[in-house]
Amino acid sequence: MNRRRVVITGMGTVNPLGHNVQDTWSALLAGRSGVSKTELFDASTFPSTFSAQVKGYDLSQDMPDTTKHRHAGRHCKFALGAALQAWKQSVLAECDALDPRSLGIYLGSGEGSLDFDNFTSLMIDAWEDGKINTRKWAALAKDRMDLHRETEQESNMVLAHLASEFGVRGPAFNVLTACAASTQAIGEAALQIRRGDADVMISGGAHSMIHPFGVTGFNRLTALSTRNDEIAGASRPFDLTRDGFVLGEGASILIIEEYEFAKARGAKILAEIVGYGSSADAFRITDQDPGGQGASGSMTVALQDAALSPADIDYISAHGTGTKQNDQVETRALKAVFGALAGKVPVSSIKSMIGHLIAAAGATELITCVLAIRDQILPPTTNYHHPDPDCDLDYIPNEPRKTDVKVCMSNSFGFGGQNDTLIVTACE
Amino acid sequence: MPEKRVAITGIGTVTPVGMGVEAFWNALVGAAACTRNVSRFDAGEFDSQVAGELDDFSARKFVPRDYRKAVKVMARDIEIAVAAADLAFRDSGIITKGIDPENTTIQASRLGCNIGAGLICSDLDELGSAVNTAVVDGKFDFKLWGSHGMDNLTPLWLLKYLPNMLACHVTIIHGAEGPSNTITCDAASSHLAVGEATRLIARGGAEAVIAGGAESKLNPMGLLRQGLLKRLCNSRNDTPAEACRPFDAEHDGTVIGEGGGLLILENLQCAEKRGAKIYAELVGFAGACDPEGFDVTRPTCGSLDLAVEGAIRDAGITPDDIDLIICHGTGVPAEDACEAQGWRDALGDRAAEIPAFAITGAMGSMFAGAGAVELAAGALAMYHQTVPPTVNFSAPAGDCELGLSDQAREKQLTYAVSCAFSVGGQSGACVLKRYQS
C-alpha cells in the first residue's frame, strides 16, 4: 500500500516584515530588513539595542470580534491571525466532510512572556537579606498577579486558543525544541496524517522572546548581534563579519492535509511535504557538534524519508542564524550531505531580513519555500558582503534569483542540539 | 509494511514515594502517603502549604563523573529527568554512553528521545540577586539592568530554563542521536511523548526511545499559579498526607508533587532477542482535544473520552477488553467529575466495575511528569498482575463512581488504559497489554 500523501492547502503569517504571506514575500524579494530599535521596552543600554519586532499588528485585522481571546498573549495573537489567514486560504470552513475528531493541531509555540512589571516589583519588594522572603512574596503576589496573565505563559495555551477557533477535537500537541520547534511540529503533524491519525492538521509556530529577560538570556549567551550602529545590516548569515543573530518574533501557521482528502474537496494544493527528519547532536548544551554530524543527520533522514537524493534538491532554506558557529557548522553539514553538489545547490537564510523568530522560525521559512516553488524565485541572503573561507557555498547573495524550483529543503537546529529538516515539492 | 510491536523494557521513576522502580512499586502497593507540609521554602503565606517533595535530591549521582559540572546549569525539572534517565537505562539493561561508553549495546542514531516538560520557572533568589542590583527608587531600572544588572547572571542562565534541556542533557549523557522531541502540553505531555515515541519505533525510525516527562512546580511561582487557578487543596494544611483525594467524597483540590518518569520503549523483537525484561507492551495510543479548553476557569478533561476511544481502537480491541483503568485523578472536584464522566462515555456502564487506581493521593500531581509515572505504575501493575491501592480514597464522590479501592488487589490483567489531560484541554491515552512470551 502506498503511504498517505500530505499536502499544504493554507498558509498565514504575522512577522516583522508583514502581517500576511504576500506582504512578507514581497519584502523578502525586495531585500527589506525588519530590524529596528527595540521599542517593546527600554533596551537602550542592553548589549543589543535592536530586534525584529512585529509592528502595528492588531488581531482585529484578521478577526472581527476578538473578545473571546482577550486574555491571549502577544505571540498567541500573532498565531490566531496567522491561523485565520491559513484557514481562510484552505477554504476548509466550507468542507462538511471534516470530522472535528480528524482535525488535529500540532504547534511549535514558545512560552508567553512574564508579567514583567509585577514579577520584578515582587522580587524587589520581597527581597530581604540577600534572598526572597517567600512569606512576604506570597502575600503580595496573591494581590498583584493575575490568573490569565500567568496561565497564558504556559506554552500549550496558543494551542488551546487555536483549537477553540476551529473546533479541534483530534490530536493536539505542542513541541518546544527551541529554534527547531515549528519545523518539528510540521514534520510530526505530517506523520500523523500519513498514519491516519488525522486528515487535517493545523501546524506551525509562534514565539516572542523580545522581552527584557529574553533578550537578557541571549545577550548573556553572547548569541545576539551587538552591531548597534548598523542595525539593518546586523543580521548577516554566512558573512565573515557576522556577530550573532537578531532576535525576532512572530507566528506562521500552515494547514496541512491528506492528499486525497484535499483533492476530493477540490482544495487548491500549494505544495506537498515529502520528507521529514529529526536528529540530536548529543554533543553539548552550549555548542553544536563542530563536525555537523547532528545537522547532517536530520537532512539525511529527511532525504531518505522523501526517497530523494541530494541532486533532486533545488534550494535549501538554511537555519543560517548569523552566529559564528551555526553558519560554519551548517556549511560543513551541507557539504557532508551534498558532497560535490554542495556549492552548486543554492542556499539562503531569510533571517538576514526577518530576524530569528525562534520557535516560529521554521514554519516561516517553510512558507517561503512553498512560495519559491510557486513563483520560481529564491529569496536572497542579504547583508552578505565579506565571504568567509569557512562558509563557501552559494548563499544567493543580496539579490533574489529566478530559477527552476521544484524541491526545497528547510533546516532548523535548536539550541541544545535538536535538529529538524523538512522537504517540500510542487504537488503533482 | 506492518508496524513493529513496542515493549516497555525499562522504568526510571523519580517521585516523592521513592527513587527507582523497586522503591516506587513497593510504596505504591504499600499505600505510602507522602505529601506533607512544604519544607523547601517557607510557604506559610500560601493558601495551600502541602506538596509531594523529593528528599535530598540531586542529579549529581546519576551522571557520569565528567558531567557533574553540568548539574549546575540544570533546573530541578532537568535534574529529575536526568536522574530518571539513568535509572531507566540501568533498569532496561541497555548500555548507553552514559552507563559505560566502552561497551554500548545500542547504535546512537537508533536511540531516540521524547521528554515532556513544563514551563520552568527561574529561581527567584538567583534572578532576584541580579534584579536587585538594578533598582532605582524601589523600582526596576531598565537602563541599569542593561548596563550592569544582567551581568550578575551566569552566562548560561537561559539554558537552565529552556524546556528542551531535559531532552538535550539526556541525549548528551546517553549518546542518543536519533529523533528527539520535547512536548509541552502540561499534564498531557508525558502521554503524548510516550505515544509519539511508540509510533517512531512502530514505523522503524528507532530501535529504542527514552520517553516520558518531568516537572517540578514546587516553587513559589508554581504554588501561586496553581492557586490562581483554584486547583489546590487549601483545607488540609494540618493533615497534609490526606490532602490529595482523587475521586473521594471529600476531595478538595490537588497537591503539587515534583517528579517524573522515563520509560525505555523498545522494538519488541530487539527486546526479546537480547532477553530483556518486558514489563508490558504499548499497543494503542491517541490524542484528543477539548476545543473549549482555552477557558481555564471551566473544568476540562481534554475530551478524555475521545482519546481513550481512539487508543482502544488503535489497539484493535474493544472497551469490553479493558481490565484496568489508570486514572489521572487530580483531586480537583470538577476535574474528577469530568474525568469520571469521560471514562463512562468511553467505556460505557462497565466503567464503574473495571478495577482502577490513581497515584496522586500518594504523591500529588506531577504535571508534565505525571503521565509517565502513571504509565510506569500501569506497566508494573500488568507485570505484577496487581492493582495498587488509591491512597486517600475511601468513598466515591457522587459523580465519581469508578472501580477504585484503598486496598491492593490481585487481578488477571490483560489490557489497561491510561489517560492524562492538561489545563488547556489536551489529552493523551495509551493502552498497555500484558506481555506473555
Give the residue extent of every domain in chain B.
6-121+161-433, 124-159
User: Is 80 exceeded by the pLDDT of residue A195?
Assistant: yes
A140 interface with B at CB cutoff 8 Å: no
The beta-carbon neighbor of B224 closest among A141, A171, A301 is A141
Determine how β-strand A418-425 pairs with β-strand A271-280.
Answer: antiparallel
Cα dihedral B157, B162, B167, B168 sign: negative
% of residues, chain A, pLDDT over 70: 100
* Tens digits of residue pLDDT in B76-130: 999 999 999 999 999 999 999 999 999 999 999 999 999 999 999 999 999 999 9
Three-class DSSP category at A185: helix
Please list the active-site residues of A. Answer: 179, 319, 356
DSSP-assigned letters across all residues of A152-193 = TTSTTHHHHHHHHHHT--S-EEEB--GGGHHHHHHHHHHHHH
A146 interface with B at CB cutoff 8 Å: yes
- Calculate mean pLDDT across residues B18-35: 97
Interface of A with B in 355-414 (CB under 8 A): 414
User: Is 60 exceeded by the pLDDT of residue B376?
Assistant: yes
Q: Would the pTM count as exceeding 0.95?
A: yes
Q: Compute the mean pLDDT over every residue in chain B, rounded to the nearest whole number.
A: 98
| Chains A & B: contacts with CB separation below 8 Å | 289
What Cα–Cα distance (Å) separates residue B403 from each residue in B105, B256, B334? 42, 25, 19
Q: How far apart are CA A250 and CA A219, in angstroms?
A: 20
- Calculate mean pLDDT across residues B333-342: 98
* Tens digits of residue pLDDT in B165-174: 999 999 999 9
Residues of chain B positioned with their CB less than 8 A from the CB of A291 = none
DSSP run (H or E) holding A275 = strand A271-280
* Tens digits of residue pLDDT in A261-308: 999 999 999 999 999 999 999 999 999 999 999 999 999 999 999 999
CATH topology of domain B6-121+161-433: Peroxisomal Thiolase; Chain A, domain 1 (3.40.47)
Residues of chain B positioned with their CB less than 8 A from the CB of A153 = 119
Under the banding of pLDDT at 50, 70 and 90, the label for residue B1 is: confident
Q: Compute the mean pLDDT over every residue in chain A, rounded to the nearest whole number.
A: 97
> Looking at chain B, which residue has its C-alpha nearest residue A305?
B205
**Residues 6 or more apart whose Cβ sits within 8 Å of residue B318:** B312
A145 interface with B at CB cutoff 8 Å: yes
CA Rg, chain B, in Å? 21
What's the grid cell of residue B325?
A: 483503568
- Domain residue ranges of chain A, discontinuous segments joined by +: 7-113+153-416, 116-151
* Tens digits of residue pLDDT in A208-221: 999 999 999 999 99
For position B81, what pLDDT does the model report? 98
* Residue from B290, B33, B213 nearest A159 by CA: B290
User: Is 90 exceeded by the pLDDT of residue B137?
Assistant: yes
ipTM of predicted complex? 0.98
B224/A138 Cβ within 8 A: yes
B424/A124 Cβ within 8 A: no
Half-sphere exposure of A304 (CA within 13 A, CB side): 11
Q: How far apart are CA B94 and CA B85, in angstroms?
A: 12
Q: Give A186 or A428, the one with higher predicted confidence.
A: A186
Chosen for mutation from B182, B189, B191, B225 (greatest number of chain A CBs closer than 10 Å) is: B182
Asked whether the beta carbons of B262 and B212 are under 8 A apart, the reply is yes
For position A261, what pLDDT does the model report? 98
User: Is 90 exceeded by the pLDDT of residue B10?
Assistant: yes
* Residue from B256, B306, B216 nearest B49 by CA: B256
B66 interface with A at CB cutoff 8 Å: no
A51: left (phi over 0), alpha (psi -120 to 50) or beta: beta
* Tens digits of residue pLDDT in A406-419: 999 999 999 999 99
Under the banding of pLDDT at 50, 70 and 90, the label for residue A428 is: confident
Residues of chain A positioned with their CB less than 8 A from the CB of B118 = 154
* Tens digits of residue pLDDT in B176-188: 999 999 999 999 9
For position A352, what pLDDT does the model report? 98
Phi/psi for A106 (5° steps) reads -140, 105
Three-class DSSP category at A280: strand
* Residue from B6, B7, B110, B11 nearest B377 by CA: B11
H-assigned helices in B93-205? 124-131, 142-147, 165-174, 189-202
Statement: A7-113+153-416 belongs to CATH 3.40.47.10: yes
Asked whether the beta carbons of B192 and B213 are under 8 A apart, the reply is no
Q: How far apart are CA A161 and CA B257, in angstroms?
A: 27
Q: How far apart are CA B434 and CA B379, in angstroms?
A: 8
Cell numbers 491517541 correspond to: B286
Asked whether the beta carbons of B35 and B52 are under 8 A apart, the reply is yes
Interface of A with B in 9-48 (CB under 8 A): 41-47
User: Is 60 exceeded by the pLDDT of residue A157?
Assistant: yes
What's the grid cell of residue A244?
A: 550573532
B303/A177 Cβ within 8 A: no
* Residue from A421, A122, A410 nearest A298 by CA: A421
Determine how β-strand B50-52 pairs with β-strand B256-257.
Answer: parallel
What's the grid cell of residue A120?
A: 520584578
Interface of A with B in 279-308 (CB under 8 A): 279-286, 293-294, 297, 301
For position A1, what pLDDT does the model report? 54
B175 interface with A at CB cutoff 8 Å: yes
What's the grid cell of residue A218?
A: 541571549
Min Cα–Cα distance to chain A from B342, Å: 14
Residues of chain A positioned with their CB less than 8 A from the CB of B224 = 138, 141-142, 145, 150
A95-125 residues labelled b (16+ CB within 10 A) or e (exposed): beebebbbbbbbbbbbbbbbbeebbbbbbeb
